[in-house]
Amino acid sequence: MPSRKAPALLAFALCTITLAVNLQAPLYIAYADLSGQGAGATAVAFSGYVLGVLPVLLALGGLADRVGRRPLIVAALLLSMLATGLMLLAPGLPTLGVARFLLGLGTGLASATATAYMTELMGDGAAQRAASWVTASTSLGFGLGAALTSLCLLGGASLAPASFPVQLLLAAAAVLLVWRLPDPRPAQPSAMLRLPSYPPGSVVHGLAILLAWACVGLVIALLPGILRQQGLSSWSGFSTFCVISCGLLFQPLAKRMPSRSATLLGLAILPCSYGLLAFGADSGRLWAVLAGAVAASSACYGFVYLGGLAAVNELAGAEKTRASAGFFLLAYLGFSLPVVLTGVLSDRLGSGAALLGFGAVLLISCASVAWALYRASAQPYALGQP
């Protein structure tokens, strides 16, 4: 296999792994109805994903060095197939929780080695290009799965849409292709436990991505139920696609900006975009939902994501892997805990109150984090600047 094809094949595998993660998102309401549960239980099942990611971030940081890069990608693909297969065989919220855990574990394994593996396949001096390929392929996959299922559901309601077997076929093909990839760095003994770290000045960027991904989690887990009240259920997968994958459009601009400025811009956009999105969901205005999702994506997967990660890497020195793990630990906590709390609030007080409450907390939190980041900019030593 020509080595020049290897990065593209790895990108295909990463896209296939992440495609499975939100493949079931448009069916969350159907699973809840099937199990006789509401928004709170749906949010808990949704958060099973984070329970799978966290062990990898907290305790398995050295696994890629011990077993090599390629086995982790293959394992992630197999876990994605197992999760999709379970949802085909036994649809419902309990199975969704298990599937989400498996998907989180697989995504964690892939994330632990994806950028390093891509860099090694591309060769020396390609670290930035490798990170761009990984970011683009995973961002596309996270949104594409939900959109693909929504597209299949336009032909009629089904708990086994055609997107599920399509994912299984793509993942099987990816396993065969990845199995033939070279593994430039041989397995070697290393410490398995590599706890996340937070260099001085990095926590504020972690809090920014926590808020951004809390918004994403709410759109994926709770928005489908709210849209159903307005007769817009068929658009839930497209809103997920917009809030994730459209961030790709803004990544080139985010890369050209100073990391601190990109994060601040994202924090300014986030509450405004959420307000537009929530207004659309509560009033049944589809244009506002999709426009708000695209605007939120510019922050969640554009300015805050790339700006924050770049800043953390600048501050980390030689501890880039542990610092990145700390950044994503806060991101995934934001992806789960606020969504569960908002889901419980939605069951008790109604979706309108839940959206308003989340929006108020988001606005105050974004203002506080932006102020902390602005104050830190007046203390160059805190951000590792000369």
Residues 152-204 have pLDDT tens digits of 988 777 788 999 999 999 999 999 999 988 877 666 666 666 677 788 888 99
Domain layout of the chain by residue ranges: 1-194, 195-386
- Six-digit token string for 184: 């430039």
The amino acid occupying position 137 is: S
The amino acid occupying position 229 is: Q
pLDDT at site 156: 75
Residues 214-234 have pLDDT tens digits of 999 888 888 888 888 888 888
Prediction pTM value: 0.85
pLDDT at site 190: 63
- Report the C-alpha gap between 106 and 39 in whole angstroms: 25
- Report the C-alpha gap between 237 and 70 in whole angstroms: 31
Burial bucket for residue 155 (CB in 10 Å: 0-12, 13-18, 19+): exposed
Same fold, 1-194 and 195-386: yes
pLDDT at site 89: 94
- Six-digit token string for 71: 């086995």
pLDDT at site 380: 47
Chain-centroid distance of CA 86 in Å reads: 21
- Six-digit token string for 289: 């939902």
Low-confidence ranges of the chain (pLDDT < 50): 1-2, 380-386
pLDDT at site 207: 95
Q: Do 252 and 147 meet the contact criterion of CB atoms below 8 Å apart? A: no
pLDDT at site 96: 94
Instruction: List the one residue out of 6, 3, 11 whose CA is nearest residue 131.
Output: 11
Q: Do 209 and 329 meet the contact criterion of CB atoms below 8 Å apart? A: no
CATH superfamily of 1-194: MFS general substrate transporter like domains (1.20.1250.20)
Q: How many angstroms separate the Cα of 92 from the Cα of each of 31, 33, 46, 128, 279?
A: 4, 9, 12, 41, 30
pLDDT at site 1: 42
- Six-digit token string for 152: 């299949």
pLDDT at site 182: 85
Which residues have C-beta within 8 Å of that of residue 196, sequence separation ≥ 6? 57, 58, 322, 323, 325, 326, 329
- Report the C-alpha gap between 265 and 259 in whole angstroms: 10
DSSP 3-state of 180: coil
Q: Name the class of domain 195-386.
A: mainly alpha
Residues composing the chain: 386
